[in-house]
Amino acid sequence: MPGEVSIRSSAISELFSRASDACFFSGVGDLGETLSRTNMAYGIAKIRWVQEQLGMVPDASFVSAPDATITRNIDRWRSGFGYGGRLRHRGDFVVLDIKSNACGLFLGRFTELPEPEAMLARIRDLSAGESFVQQTATSWDFGLSNHFVHVMRFEKPIEGSPYGVLCHGSGPELRSPGPWGPGLYVNRSPRLAELSRTEETPWGPLRIIAGREAVAEYWQGYLAAERHSHERRRKMAEALFPDLVEVSNLTHQGALAPNDYLIGGVAEVGDAVVPLALRAELPVYLLSARPSFSNAAQELLGFGERAARMGLSDVVSNANVLPHGGGYSLPGYKAVDRVLEFDHGKRIYVMEVAQGTSARAYHDNFRHVPFDYRGEEVLRRVEELDMGEVTNRGLPLYEFMV
């Protein structure tokens, strides 16, 4: 009946509006953040729809870090997720389309600095040979995507160590079955495919694992894969620097619980040293994290009233998110003109092209568009919101992506 269609359409629009309101963004206000904000509303709407179908109160939310931007992972973007923050929901189910893969950053300190050519030779031996692969049961992924080894000199030596290294990576094999368990990606793991089901929503399908036992099995596999990811980053760094001491080893694309996801962000307070690596020519800033978001920060961002109205005050106040890097900027584009929605959840982003032209670009993902990395504006946002304090700087010496 026409009346029923109208009521249903109104309810869908209301759910999407509430999903958009459940996204709290704290970034630098550029196009990358705008795209993340726009796309994330679809992902949160899908999760809230599934919560309603499962008889739960829809409470899925996203709280961003200051580096919120696009994700260049095609499947994650098409599923309705941006990048740079923490996503949480109630209920015994796991959202597989977020694609948690235990990627993170290892920070270590050392005293003896090898010559760059000697390091390069060692890296080539490790990446081409079998010893590292056999030791870690994964491949060498430093040099794939934006994974890297970054060597620096600390402005203030840490416990007598003048030098530091950052290793950014995860291990692609963790997505498939191995010693760590069934794997992390549903399209790479037969067992996850068995455990999962697809929920249809007005904004496209959402792949989940539901039920206490199935979620517990997934979670044990995830924890094993995350331990493996941490260990391989540490072992790689030790293979390059024999006198290495670990400072921190933090996940930024993973989970804190089966329904609590880090999507390109770090959630830390206390003693952990959080490295903020921006661009190769800029220092690595070592941060001491503070609880976020303070009342003053929420007032500045306009979060307080909205969070209280939606019953999400605690979620926002204890998000404790920090950026995992600078995040992507998109210099070739000026603004989002509109989003075209098609059947089965397909979306096309119509982008205004920069440089004073009326041209438009149509994208269903942003994997292959020209991009740059943001700089110190992300750090300034962290400081403005009192999310962390810079305790040291790592001055760049050399970086390897091989």
Given CA atoms 43, 46, 50, 52 in this order, what sign does their dihedral have?
positive
Checking if the pLDDT of 308 tops 60, the result is yes
Each residue's pLDDT tens digit, 351-392: 999 877 889 999 999 999 999 999 999 999 999 999 999 999
Judged by DSSP in three states, 67 sits in strand
**Rounded to the nearest 5 degrees, what angle is found at the Cα of 256, between the Cα atoms of 253 and 262?**
30
Q: What is the mean pLDDT of residues 142-148?
A: 69
How much is the pLDDT for 190? 97
pLDDT confidence band for 7 (50 / 70 / 90): very low
348: left (phi over 0), alpha (psi -120 to 50) or beta: beta
Task: Determine the pLDDT at residue 4.
Answer: 44
Residue found under tokens 């726009």: 38
Task: Name the residue ranges covered by the structural domains of the chain.
Answer: 16-105+167-326+371-400, 331-365
Whole-number average pLDDT of the chain: 92
| % of the chain with per-residue pLDDT over 90 | 79
Reported confidence tier of residue 179, pLDDT bands at 50, 70, 90: confident
pLDDT recorded at residue 1: 41
Confidence class for position 125, pLDDT limits 50, 70, 90: confident
- Residue 252's contacts (CB-CB under 8 Å, 6 or more residues apart) are 103, 104, 105, 262, 264, 265, 266, 324
- Look at residue 303 and tell me whether its pLDDT is greater than 50: yes
Q: Give residue 355's pLDDT.
A: 78
| Band of residue 142 on the pLDDT scale cut at 50, 70, 90 | low
Q: Rounded distance, CA 287 to CA 144, Å?
A: 26
Least confident of 111-125, 133-147, 148-162, 271-285: 133-147
Q: Report pLDDT digits (tens) over 89-124.
A: 999 999 999 999 999 999 999 999 999 898 888 878
- Is the confidence at residue 398, as pLDDT, over 80? yes
Residue 279 CB-half CA count within 13 A: 12
- How do strand 61-69 and strand 23-24 relate by DSSP bridges? parallel
pLDDT at res. 2: 44
Residue 51 or residue 11, greater confidence? 51
> Would you state the pLDDT for residue 3?
46
Report how far apart, in Å, the C-alpha atoms of 36 and of each of 26, 187, 302, 347 are: 11, 24, 18, 14
Q: Which residue has the higher pLDDT, 401 or 246?
A: 246
| Average pLDDT score over residue span 83-90 | 98
pLDDT tens digits, one per residue of 27-81 = 999 999 999 999 999 999 999 999 999 999 999 999 999 999 999 999 999 999 9
| Residue 397 φ/ψ region, left for φ over 0, alpha for ψ in the -120 to 50 degree band, beta for the rest | alpha
Distance in angstroms (rounded) separating the CA atoms of residues 393 and 390: 8
**What confidence tens digit (pLDDT) does each residue in 184-226 have?**
999 999 999 999 999 999 999 999 999 999 999 999 999 999 9
pLDDT bucket at 8, cuts 50 / 70 / 90: low
Give the integer Cα–Cα distance in Å for 323 and 158. Answer: 22
Q: How far apart are CA 67 and CA 323, in angstroms?
A: 5
Q: Please work out, in degrees rounded to the nearest 5, the angle formed at the alpha carbon of residue 59 by the alpha carbons of 54 and 63.
A: 140
> What residues pair up with 144 in beta bridges, in sequence order?
none
Q: What angle is formed at CA 158 by the lines to CA 146 and CA 85, rounded to 5 degrees?
A: 40
pLDDT digits (tens, 9 = 90+) for 310-336: 999 999 999 999 999 999 999 999 999
Structure tokens at 213: 């036992």
